[in-house]
Structure 1
Amino acid sequence: MVEEMRAKWCEDLEELLQCPVCFERPESPVKQCERGHHICNVCKDLITECPLCKCRFSNARSYLAEELSIKLDDIKLSLLHPMHSLNNRGRNSVGSQTETNVVIAKNGSKITKRAPPEAPKGKFPCRIGTCVETLPHGRMIPHIRFYHKNKFHESNCTSENMYQQVWEMEYYKNVKYDLAIRVAEMGLFFMHIKIDDNGDLFGVVQIVGTNYIGKEFNYELKIMSSQRISIFKDKVCSCVTSPMSLFENIDCLSINHKDMTRMIAGSDTFTCIMILTRLP
């Protein structure tokens, strides 16, 4: 799909440009090794050889990396939002961002698809397990693919402006399920299901982005068995907030041990359904 390809190009550009040591986007001046691998000016003073090819660093600057670093945000904005004023050659000003509606034909019907939210600036914590990495948005997906690939799901919207995923989970005390879900038309999300020492279950969904972006989305968590179901709905919040603080404040799905015992009725498994909806 075109929108997914554009998002992938943005991620690839961000990954190609980043410093191979700190994984940050370099700022001028950008130095390079004898074979042309660039590195940010801060990290160059910390090491004596290129981490990619082991060659020495020269005093030469990578002007290509410097120019691309300056223009990358505009390039990404242009790719993700084709109707943005940046793509109107007759205009000099950037103007206000306009979200793109793309109409495609599918089985004879027309479906309106929206471009994903613009990738936010700043760093965000990885919320998978005990991981302590804090990364720019463009580095989060490659990080999760490499270090947490068994907890990573990538997909497209299951219907217009909505995504749904179903998991079968085991019910044991002191267990935590952390999952990363990338929906091409929506963004990157973390889902957390925690069962504490008392057998109480908690659940929340967060976005790798700001709370402002999170307001574009509602999530719904359904915990169910063949006999009972518990449903929680709320807006998606930023992953900057610790999920543990949300659990402690009961600002999330919450089912006590007694109700969970009744729900699973002697079984040791339950069904978890997550539904993400992008608001108009």
Structure 2
Amino acid sequence: MPNNYLLLLAVCPEYMAPGNDYMEVPVISGEEDDVSVSISDADSKVGISVTRKAGGLPTSSVHELLECPVCTNFMYPPILQCANGHTLCATCKARVHNRCPTCRFELGTIRCLALEKVAESLELPCRYHNLGCPELFPYYTKGKHEAICTFRPYNCPYAGSECSMVGDIPTLVAHLRDYHKVDMHNGCTFNHRYVKSNPQEVENATWMLTVFNCFGQYFCLHFEAFQLGMAPVYMAFLRFMGDDNEAKNFSYSLEVGANGRKLSWHGVPRSIRDSHQKVRDSHDGLIIYRNMALFFSGGERKELKLRVTGRIWKEQ
């Protein structure tokens, strides 16, 4: 029996023979995966369950039934269908101007309750299972898990340009080194000099990212100029290349000063799950007002010459 018979039942229930209280529709069968969908019509109520051999996973045939033909994402209730039984997610209804993308019939508000019941009974692997996530999740909670899955790839932490690169940490480290040409350093202490010849004219600026390999982990040192309210400031902060629960195992300090004065900061590096702009806008780092930064620079305050020192350590 063809896989799309489920959709036919949802649109044309007369295809279920009268008096047939129980019909079993095989969806997939094989040596490794064996999934069957059972549909009952007792008391005029449609009930659907999915059975799966231990260790087997629903494969592409089931996934295709639940894939929206417009956005190609998995569909969640309400799942809509046209009079011919073609389905799509409610989010895409406006995108196709209330016309079925397959047959061009008007969509209306018909829901595919049978397919929603099928989805309710499924357990699916996390979309990041190829990256190491071993878990199975009920269909309707899978998306919530994937939004916070620790195996999901990271966005490129490079600041100053919108880079679309995503990947695991080793991939991003190689990308930062080879594509963005960032400064790569080994060690847990640093002494960096930031120079700007016309600081009075700079409202927003981002200096080159620096990446440190320390305790077998990678950290990103950022330095930026921006407006804090009406005041021009400079800010230095550290981000951890990993998840937040790992970042909390480390601390770092930053110092800047001259002429007998010193500003210092002691904090916990933020995960690169948080964008550099989010960290900057939360003011979670060493903030130096421009007048103080120029005072530290010496001379006639016409050139920015700041030396920022710091270290990273692991909490016990």
CA contact (8 A) 1:168 1:271 kept: yes
CA 1:259–1:71 in structure 2 vs 1: closer, same or farther (change >3 Å)? closer
- Opposite residue 141 of structure 1, the aligned amino acid is V
The secondary structure found in structure 1 opposite 2:174 is helix
Percent sequence identity over aligned pairs: 15
- CA shift at 1:194, angstroms? 0.7
- CA shift at 1:276, angstroms? 0.8
Matched, 1:169 2:194: yes
Give CA-to-partner distance per residue, 1:106-135, whole Å, 9 cap, x none.
xxxxxxxxxxxxxx6321121223123222
Matched, 1:193 2:229: no
| Partner in structure 2 of residue 125 of structure 1 | 155
| Partner in structure 1 of residue 235 of structure 2 | 202
Matched, 1:152 2:183: yes
Match of 1:142 among 166, 171, 174: 174
CA 1:272–1:138 in structure 2 vs 1: closer, same or farther (change >3 Å)? same
Specify which structure has the bigger relative contact order, considering alpha-carbon pairs within 8 angstroms and separated by 6 or more residues.
1
Structure 2: gaps (5+ residues):
1-58, 60-128, 133-149
Give CA-to-partner distance per residue, 1:133-182, whole Å, 9 cap, x none.
22222311121121022x23131x4xxxxx10111111432321242423
Instruction: Write the distance in 2 (CA, Å) between the matches of 1:227 and 1:242.
Output: 35
CA 1:154–1:126 in structure 2 vs 1: closer, same or farther (change >3 Å)? same
Which of the pair has more CA radius of gyration?
2
Instruction: Write the distance in 2 (CA, Å) between the matches of 1:196 and 1:140.
Output: 26
| Partner in structure 1 of residue 264 of structure 2 | 231
CA contact (8 A) 2:177 2:184 kept: no
Matches within 5 A, 1:107-122: 121-122=151-152
- CA shift at 1:199, angstroms? 3.2
Instruction: Write the distance in 1 (CA, Å) between the matches of 2:193 and 2:130.
Output: 45
| Partner in structure 2 of residue 257 of structure 1 | 290
Q: Report how many aligned residue pairs link the two structures.
A: 161
Matches within 5 A, 1:1-280: 121-128=151-158, 129-130=160-161, 131-149=163-181, 151-155=182-186, 157=187, 163-171=188-196, 172=199, 173=202, 174-196=204-226, 198-265=231-298, 266=301, 267-280=303-316
Instruction: Write the distance in 2 (CA, Å) between the matches of 1:179 and 1:164.
Output: 16
Instruction: Write the distance in 1 (CA, Å) between the matches of 2:308 and 2:192.
Output: 5
Instruction: Write the distance in 2 (CA, Å) between the matches of 1:221 and 1:72.
Output: 35
Would you identify which runs of 4 or more consecutive aligned residues in structure 1 move more than 6 Å?
A: 70-73
| Partner in structure 1 of residue 104 of structure 2 | none
Alpha-carbon RMSD: 2.8
CA contact (8 A) 2:131 2:152 kept: no
CA contact (8 A) 1:124 1:135 kept: yes
Instruction: Write the distance in 1 (CA, Å) between the matches of 2:211 and 2:274.
Output: 18
